[in-house]
């Protein structure tokens, strides 16, 4: 038994969740940028069961109750749909929210912190770097399936858990404020990156302008579909569950496929410092889009499909902008482990954009061919 004192995960938090049995241990878990995550193991009448516990970062998610209301609605909808379809292994295909003893989806600790608990999904892992078109394909398919599962979610509009999360124009306003104020005296170290952002501002606003004008529809989307938010079965290597649902809210489907393109098509992690290793891989892109459109073609409109290539460039740019802005502001948002970590992340994203630009026509041609081959079948 280890760490049963729960110094980082207060005992009063664990005792408020509807968990039976004897606690065996608690340990830190995961490497997310935003929330603090722990995993516990319990002996329940001789069966060992594990749970994931997270303290919600209320500096990022200022209304944690609304975050959890969204998550409850989304997970319940997917779980009911899987049940109607007779899907096996349902508890490993959607997150299971563990309620508190009084029925809430969250609890508060003695210092006012917000906590939630999920049933831990056993026998899975996530990827940091994709090694093959096959891996890219099932990652794309899993996000297309996730969007399709939520396309018919009824009821009121989901809460915006981070308003204007992918609003490029407003991100630029904050970026220019950070540059002009230069409170941390870091502008001199990022002149090339700042220049790149200035040069690409107009193109970077393409998706948000299309959404605002109604050229593409608002849909429910995940908004943070980097590949390590998709759990993969250890045995059959197939995707099992989309996780990290804090940012599930209204947006455009292109935000999700764009983040997949950003993370899947580069054979390097997002904070790789050797820029020579960062390059856009067309074979991974082909597998990814084939998988995504195999699920999403039946509900996407032609205008959405046409903007798929631009979505990858757009989301890569917005992440570069966010990393750079956080660096200029003093590294308040993203966790860092070294000096200039966020600047390295920004440079990495810019290298991905430049590699995409060098292959742009091939990307356009490939997307058009895949889209044509994935047209939904006409009805009888």
Domain of 48, CATH number, reads 3.30.200.20
Would residue 125 count as lying in a domain? Answer: no
Return the pLDDT at 156. 95
Nearest-angstrom CA–CA distance, 230 and 270: 16
- Residue-wise pLDDT for 222-254, tens only, equals 999 988 899 998 988 777 899 999 999 999 999
| Integer Cα distance of 151 and 376 in angstroms | 16
CATH number at residue 340: 3.90.1200.10
User: Is 346 within the bounds of a domain?
Assistant: yes
pLDDT tens, per residue, the chain with 380 residues? 233 334 478 888 999 999 999 999 999 987 655 678 999 999 999 999 999 999 999 988 999 999 999 999 999 999 999 999 999 889 999 999 999 999 999 999 999 999 999 999 999 998 888 889 999 998 999 999 999 999 999 999 999 999 999 999 999 999 999 999 999 999 999 999 999 999 999 999 999 999 999 999 999 999 999 888 999 989 887 778 999 999 999 999 999 999 999 999 988 888 899 999 999 999 999 999 999 999 999 999 999 999 999 999 999 999 999 999 999 999 988 889 999 999 999 999 999 999 999 999 999 999 999 998 876 544 43
**What pLDDT does 333 receive?**
86
Quick one: 364 and 221 in the same domain? Answer: yes
Residue 344 located in a structural domain: yes
What pLDDT is stored for residue 379 in this prediction? Answer: 44
CB 220 within 8 A of CB 158: yes
pLDDT for res 375? 64
* Residue at 74 is within a domain: yes
Let me know whether 363 and 258 are in one domain: yes
Tell me: do 182 and 331 sit in the same domain. Answer: yes
Residues 108 and 179 in one domain: no
**Predicted pLDDT at 141:** 94
The domain tally of the chain equals: 2
pLDDT given at position 27:
93
Cα–Cα nearest to 147, from 74, 53, 233:
74
Q: Note down the domain range covering 60.
A: 11-120
Last residue of one domain, picked from the residues 96, 120, 144: 120
Q: Which residue has the tokens 């308040």?
A: 332
Q: What per-residue confidence (pLDDT) applies to 282?
A: 95
Q: Based on the domain organization, do 147 and 185 belong to the same domain?
A: yes
Question: For position 6, what pLDDT does the model report?
Answer: 41
Residue 96: name the closest of 18, 187, 14, 197 by CA: 18
Are residues 193 and 69 part of one domain? no
pLDDT at 1: 29
**If you search the block for the tokens 């058009």, which residue do you land on?**
368
C-alpha separations of 173 from 159, 197, 229 in Å: 23, 12, 29
Residue 180 token pair: 């002009």
Distance between CA atoms of 240 and 237, rounded to whole angstroms?
9
């Amino acid at each position: 038994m280890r760490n049963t004192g729960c110094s980082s995960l207060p005992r009063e938090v664990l005792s408020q969740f509807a968990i039976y049995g004897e606690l065996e241990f608690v340990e830190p878990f995961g490497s997310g940028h935003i929330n603090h995550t722990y995993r516990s193991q319990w002996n329940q009448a001789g069966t060992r069961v594990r749970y994931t516990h997270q303290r919600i970062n209320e500096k990022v998610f200022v209304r944690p109750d609304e975050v959890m209301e969204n998550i409850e609605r989304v997970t319940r909808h997917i779980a009911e749909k899987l049940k109607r379809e007779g899907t096996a292994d349902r508890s490993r295909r959607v997150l299971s929210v563990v309620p508190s003893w009084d029925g809430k989806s969250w609890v508060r600790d003695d210092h006012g912190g917000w906590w939630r608990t999920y049933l831990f999904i056993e026998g899975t892992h996530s990827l940091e770097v994709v090694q093959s078109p096959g891996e890219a394909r099932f990652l794309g398919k899993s996000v297309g399936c996730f969007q399709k599962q939520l396309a018919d979610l009824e009821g009121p509009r989901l809460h915006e858990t981070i308003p204007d999360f992918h609003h490029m124009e407003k991100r630029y306003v904050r970026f220019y404020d950070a540059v002009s104020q230069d409170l941390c005296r870091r502008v001199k170290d990022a002149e090339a990156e700042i220049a790149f952002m200035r040069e690409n501002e107009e193109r970077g606003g393409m998706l948000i302008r299309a959404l605002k004008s109604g050229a593409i529809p608002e849909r429910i989307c995940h908004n943070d579909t980097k590949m390590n938010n998709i759990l993969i079965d250890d045995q059959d290597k197939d995707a099992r569950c989309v996780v990290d649902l804090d940012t599930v809210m209204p947006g455009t489907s292109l935000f999700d496929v764009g983040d997949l393109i950003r993370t899947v098509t580069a054979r390097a992690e997002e904070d790789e410092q050797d820029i020579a290793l960062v390059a856009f891989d067309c074979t991974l892109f082909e597998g990814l889009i084939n998988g995504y459109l195999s699920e999403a073609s039946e509900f996407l409109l032609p205008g959405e499909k046409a903007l798929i290539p631009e979505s990858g460039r757009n989301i890569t740019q917005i992440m570069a902008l966010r990393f750079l802005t956080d660096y200029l502001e003093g590294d308040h948002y993203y966790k860092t482990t070294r000096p200039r970590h966020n600047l390295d992340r920004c440079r990495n994203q810019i290298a991905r954009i430049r590699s995409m630009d060098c292959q742009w026509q091939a990307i356009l041609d490939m997307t058009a061919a895949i889209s044509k081959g994935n047209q939904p079948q006409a009805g009888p």
